[in-house]
Amino acid sequence: MGPRAKAVCSLFILLQVLAEPAENSDFYLPGDYLLGGLFTLHANVKGTVHLSFLQVPQCKKYEMKVLGYNLMQAMRFAVEEINNRSDLLPGVLLGYEIVDVCYISNNVQPVLYFLAREDYSLPIQEDYSHYVPRVLAVIGPDNSESTTTVAHFLSLFLLPQITYSAISDDLRDKQRFPALLRTVAGADHQIEAMVQLLLHFNWNWIIVLVSSDDYGRYNSQLLNDRLATRDICIAFQETLPMPQPNQVVTEWERQRLEAIVGKLQQSSARVVVLFSPDLILHNFFREVLRQNFTGAVWIASESWAIDPVLHNLTELRQTGTFLGVTTQSVPIPGFSEFRIRRTPVRLPEPNRTSLEATCNQECDTCQDTTASFNSILTLSGERVVYNVYSAVYAVAHALHSLLGCTQACSKDVVYPWQLLKEIWKVNFTLLGHNVFFDKQGDVLMPMEVIQWQWDLSQNPFQSIASYYPKLRQLKAIHNISWHTANNTIPVSMCSKDCHPGQRKKPVGIHSCCFECIDCLPGTFLNRTADEFDCQPCPSYEWSHRNDTSCFKRRLAFLEWHEPSTIFVVVLTILGFLSTLAIMVIFWRHLHTPVVRSAGGPMCFLMLVPLLLAYAMVPMYIGQPTFFSCLWRQTFFTLCFTICISCITVRSFQIVCIFKMARRLPRAYGYWVRCHGPYVFVASFMVLKVVIVAGNVLATTANPTARPDPDDPNIMVLSCNYRRALLFNTSLDLLLSVAGFSFAYMGKELPTNYNEAKFITLCMTFYFTSSVSLCTFMSVYDGVLVTILDLLVTVLNLLGISFGYFGPKCYMVLFYPERNTQVYFSSMIQGYTMGKD
């Protein structure tokens, strides 16, 4: 394994020119193996930084960056602690050269200095497998933009680089950055923690402010991509202007900041997510304070979540609640004392020129500034400090393995690529935490959501929740002190959430802005499926207004206990008993003239189906089944057809006897010899069987459920033979019209044979009731249809029983003198003489 060979010559000529001696190290410690440290110690340089040579100005020309200096001290502390141990690298001393990268303006010069040899040369070689640079590993820088620049150089030599706070997920690409590792979770986890925090408090209407550098652009894009699949909308997004190196606010920057804060004032969103390095935010928050913008929830990215300088602006407490995402706090014993400890002045090494002596090693301004912030740094816990601390220890453990340090370490030459291979393998416990690199080169330390506190006796960055990268889950949100009246949770929603059973009607382009519309009866809202449309209930279910689910409709059918059913049943029993009595009377007086004139034996062909039809009335009552519907559709209509055909043929036969026998004697004789009445009835029975069989095959006999038009909560269960009803009754209607016509033709017959009035009444009632029922069933679907169907059927049966047979029984029972052959002969003789 070795670094990339056959590099482009022009590139390395450039490297060789740039890698000239310079006052490069701000802090230096000699040792057997040197570590390179890249830290942002000074955010703003009040002077000129020359890119050809790094000219380090004196301390008084800098504005001290407290966090950068704190992290640098963590590296020094870790190195000294390792050197004082006898078990980790016995007989071997670690050294360091620490360089200030001044945020992003000084990246190339230090990395070339680290890659050069002791004589400041960087030779052009085909194979760098045995090349030994000034340092064996580099810790830092702190931001993704600088880390990317440095990593492009170090990866050419496979020189290990461990960054402690660069979170860009692009750095996971090991094809581009094979030598880069991180002791911090990536930006993806920071964004996920923020999104889960927003979802927890139902903040779906937010503002995003970003810096104009790669950090702001990358993280804002990552947030936008993540929110695209969540119910969270961005009211607006603005880019903060980059300040001048001397922090003097220009007119353009002032106008820009005024406009941004003005938009914050006018927006209904009260949650502001801010991705920016800390140095850009000072002027912004001063403008926020100037315009007296309050009541917001500020969610800080890791770049400024625990910045003590911004926290020192105590007036910020008036602007709202400050939350932030940062790494977990891990206390490091002894570090707080080391941070402010004054080190005796170190004389230059014999092999180093006076130009290489550092000024910042004993910078009184640096020491004094750090001491002034020592309290807040101690109370806040060592968060990013532990990342630097563990990075140094990772290099030490890799050296321990590479040098075979059991009782003593070998003093072999260590090449960068060998050390990189061992760093990938490290797995050790440091202050209770397991440190190892995953396949992307990250140490997945837990993260925390913190809240800014301004009580001097408390932790200024109070932990309120924990985020676990391995689980991708935010847990244990607690102890938040909201800067609101009555400590209520701030609301940041474009539209308040709809009540259950209300759909969202979008307003504008944002899905979070909507009106709430009630779901109508018969529809419901399933939020998991669609929040913007009400879904219709299935046909057998129903819902009330604003329902979130449907309920089964109550099945309705003709039941025994209903008053209408009881009334019809009473009529049915009356008709059945009356028909049975008529049958007995006719049986006892079968050979009398009255019974013979009514049809004789054919009367029983009518009475038996009538009795069966009465007996099948219970088929209409109760819950319909396949068999009950089948009987109603077939057997019941056949019984009724027999009765109608018998009445029709009887009317026809009487007319034939008195009016056609003399005119067509041969036809009449043929009619009598062939038992014409029975043939007529049988023929129509066969025709009716064919019609009924066709209807059964064409339609189903299974009962169907239809919504009740009067009460949608009810589902009417009835037999599905409506379309077949017209075909089934068509033949009966035709017979009734024929029977009516024959009866009307016989209106002048003798009184004993004149049945026109009774047959006309029966046939007219049957015709009108059947047509009315079919019409009503075509326009109405309620339970009333079943009730009327049964009532019309029973009344038609009663019409035949009492309308046709009633007068005959009355004559037999109350006028026996007229039920004689002599009386009937006299009536026929009188009719004949009258016709003559």
* Rg of the chain taking only CA atoms, in angstroms: 52
The pLDDT assigned to 329 comes to: 86
pLDDT of 379 reads 57
Q: How many whole angstroms separate alpha carbon 712 and alpha carbon 564?
A: 22
CA atoms of 444 and 569, how far apart (whole Å): 82
Cross-strand partners of 137: 35
The CATH code that applies to domain 28-186+362-436 is 3.40.50.2300
pLDDT at 696: 73
Contact assessment for residue 223 and residue 273, using Cβ atoms and an 8 Å cutoff: yes
Task: List the chain domain ranges.
Answer: 28-186+362-436, 187-333+446-475, 502-552, 563-834
User: Which residues make Cβ contacts (< 8 Å) with residue 85, sequence separation at least 6?
Assistant: none
What homologous superfamily does CATH list for 187-333+446-475? Response regulator (3.40.50.2300)
Residue 613 pLDDT: 84
353 contact partners, CB below 8 Å, separation of at least 6: 21
Supply the pLDDT for residue 16: 33
d(CA 190, CA 230): 16
Residues in the chain with pLDDT values less than 70: 1-27, 40-64, 103-105, 245-247, 342-382, 654-669, 671-672, 720-728, 740, 743-761, 777-783, 824-836
Contact, 482 vs 321, CB < 8 A? yes
pLDDT in tens, 595-614: 777 777 788 888 888 888 88
Query: Over the chain, what is the mean pLDDT?
Result: 79
Please tell me the distance from the alpha carbon of residue 129 to that of residue 1, in angstroms, as a whole number: 8
Q: Residue 658 carries which DSSP code?
A: I
Task: Tell me the C-alpha distance between 569 and 591, whole Å.
Answer: 34
DSSP secondary structure letters along 129-153: TT---S-SEEE--SSHHHHHHHHHH
Which CATH fold would you assign to the domain 563-834?
Rhopdopsin 7-helix transmembrane proteins (1.20.1070)
Closest residue by Cα to residue 182 from 137, 140, 136, 135: 140
Which pLDDT belongs to residue 355? Answer: 37
The pLDDT value given to residue 319: 93
CA distance 33 to 565: 105
Per-residue model confidence as pLDDT tens digits over 757-782: 666 667 777 777 777 777 776 666 66
Residue pair 251/287 in contact by the 8 Å Cβ criterion: no
Per-residue pLDDT at 325: 94
Same fold, 187-333+446-475 and 563-834: no
